[in-house]
Amino acid sequence: MAATPEGADPYIRQDMGYPPKKSDWNFEIQPATAPWSYRVGLFEGAELYLGTRIFMSLPARFQKIHGVIRVEQEDREWYLVKAKDINSAQLQDALWRQFQAAASEAFQP
């Protein structure tokens, strides 16, 4: 296993393993009030799994999703997403792919 990044918990990383299993990670997607399209919640252990630097890169990663116009971190694990022509199921799949890429970087040796 790779060295533990700053802000990560080695026990959580070991327990959850790599690569991340979709069943362990859930993006809670809710409708949001204008001008936002969605409010997205992420499992609270995400920063402890990824490490602080990679966790803090998630809004920029999420903003790269096709159809996403803007992302703002509302709270530690909650994000506001302004999107066009992307439904919640498509957003869920795209968020998962971005999270997998972040995890891959977090677990590099």
Average pLDDT over residues 40-60: 95
pTM of the model: 0.93
Annotation: CATH topology of 10-106: Gyrase A; domain 2 (3.30.1360)
Residue 34: its pLDDT value, please? 96
Are 8 and 48 in contact by the 8 Å Cβ rule? The answer is: yes
Q: How many CA atoms lie within 13 A of 26 on its CB side?
A: 5
pLDDT band at 26 (very low <50, low <70, confident <90, very high): confident
Give me the amino acid identity at 40: V
Cα 100 to Cα 105: distance, rounded to the nearest angstrom: 9
What's the confidence (pLDDT) of residue 1? Answer: 55
Q: Would you give the DSSP letter of residue 77?
A: T
